[in-house]
Amino acid sequence: MITFEQLQKTYPSRGTGTPVQALADIDLTIGRGEIYGIIGRSGAGKSTLLRTVNLLEKPTSGRVLVDGVDVTALSARELREARHSIGMIFQHFNLLSSRTVFDNVALPLELAGVTKAQIRETVEPLLDLVGLTDKRDRYPAELSGGQKQRVGIARALASKPKVLLSDEATSALDPETTTQILHLLADINKRLGLTIVLITHEIAVIKEICHKVAVMENGRIIEQGPVFDVFAHPKHETTKTFVDPVINRGIPDSLRARLSPTPVAGSNIVLRITFTGERATSPVISAISRKLNLDLNIWHGQIDEIQGAPFGTLVVEAIGNPQSIEAAISLLNVNKLGVEVLGHAVPGNLRAAV
């Protein structure tokens, strides 16, 4: 549905500053009907990337294809036409304070020259969809943040777009309202088959509704893929720092203090085993322990759910002879469970002496 090809964007220097490369070598494809999340820290280039889709930001080089059409090659008039099929919602809602809820949602239709009767026919079901029928004649100043964003969503849907762009649409909302708005977006995605591209700096948003995710840093995409895979096996350090807090791959500090990166006398190896999909519920661990005569001392465990699939991590201290441990690791790998050596557990008294 959307393809970025070799996209670059450099902002010219302001005053005495140096030019800012906001996007570098972006190649990314977003499929039809997907909810695609783009996450990154502030200044990573997320907004710039999103805004190239409707050409609010003109790329320095490269192409952006939306439904097969290269938007960077359109005339001003063609671009305005193309924008009718790309809806956008914003962090600060950007509603017209001088217009009622109904008239705000009607704005894109007015701009497109739609008749009054058709406008009513389109706007009323949309207000119903976002649950604001009773606020129809209210002004934005009379609405809560969540209600304002619902107006924003209805407005973005008014021209029946194929793509919805969301620039930090929930970042100004409290957690509960955020969840409601995200569910509304997921619902719209399902019902209308709308492709949604959303950018955020909050990993919880990605976890909640996205199918796929791209991680951005310094204008580049450093990691991308299905949300489940990226969460289960983050490769890049930045991705790990995003993912760790929500899926709790970490271990408590008191245990971390007992870890040494290299073996010492009397230490036992500490493994982090990652369960994904249906394997999260199969009894592999106890089988291995029995078969190889290994004692597994469980340090920490967590079962979570990403995109409806179970996902678990278990941190264990393996006590047994080295061959058995080797065998256990390869068995875990055979069973397609993630296994990672975290370090070596130093016996309590020894550690004090080191």
Ligand X SMILES: Nc1ncnc2c1ncn2[C@@H]1O[C@H](COP(=O)(O)OP(=O)(O)O)[C@@H](O)[C@H]1O
- Contact residues: other proteins, CB under 8 A: 54, 56, 79-84, 86-88, 90, 92, 94-99, 107-108, 110-112, 138-142, 155, 159, 165
Residues 6+ apart with CB under 8 A from 99: 107, 139, 140
By a kind-dependent CB cut-off of 5 to 8 A, residue 159 interacts, out of Mg ion, other proteins, ligand X, none, with other proteins
Contacting ligand X (CB under 6 A), which of 39, 47, 153, 217? 47
By a kind-dependent CB cut-off of 5 to 8 A, residue 73 interacts, out of Mg ion, other proteins, ligand X, none, with none
Question: Which of these ranges, 45-53, 262-270, 322-330, 343-351, lies near ligand X under the rule CB under 6 A?
Answer: 45-53
Contacting ligand X (CB under 6 A), which of 3, 5, 10, 20? 20
Angle at 227 between CA 225 and CA 230, to 5 degrees: 65
Q: Does 37 bind ligand X (CB under 6 A)?
A: no
Say if residues 152 and 93 touch (Cβ distance below 8 Å).
Answer: yes
By a kind-dependent CB cut-off of 5 to 8 A, residue 11 interacts, out of ligand X, other proteins, Mg ion, none, with ligand X
The C-alpha atoms of residue 313 and residue 316 are separated, in whole angstroms, by 10
Say if residues 40 and 223 touch (Cβ distance below 8 Å).
Answer: no
Q: Does 59 bind ligand X (CB under 6 A)?
A: no
Contacting ligand X (CB under 6 A), which of 44, 154, 196, 315? 44
Helix axis angle, 116-129 to 145-157, nearest 10°: 130
* E-assigned strand segments in the chain: 2-11, 20-30, 35-40, 61-66, 69-70, 86-90, 163-167, 195-200, 212-217, 220-226, 259-260, 268-276, 295-306, 309-319, 338-345
Say if residues 348 and 258 touch (Cβ distance below 8 Å).
Answer: yes
Q: Does 200 bind Mg ion (CB under 5 A)?
A: no
Which residue is closest to Mg ion by CB?
Answer: 47
By a kind-dependent CB cut-off of 5 to 8 A, residue 22 interacts, out of other proteins, ligand X, Mg ion, none, with ligand X
Looking at the Cβ atoms of 83 and 150, the one nearer to other proteins is 83
DSSP 20-38: EEEEEEEEEEE-TT-EEEE
On the 0-12 / 13-18 / 19+ scale of CB atoms within 10 A, 17 is exposed
Looking at the Cβ atoms of 48 and 147, the one nearer to Mg ion is 48
Query: Would you give the binding string for Mg ion spanning residues 34-73, x where CB under 5 A is met?
Result: -------------x--------------------------
Strand partners, 36: 197, 212
Say if residues 256 and 346 touch (Cβ distance below 8 Å).
Answer: no
Looking at the Cβ atoms of 56 and 350, the one nearer to ligand X is 56
Q: Does 45 bind ligand X (CB under 6 A)?
A: yes
Contact footprint for Mg ion (CB under 5 A):
47
Contact footprint for ligand X (CB under 6 A):
11, 20, 22, 40, 42-48
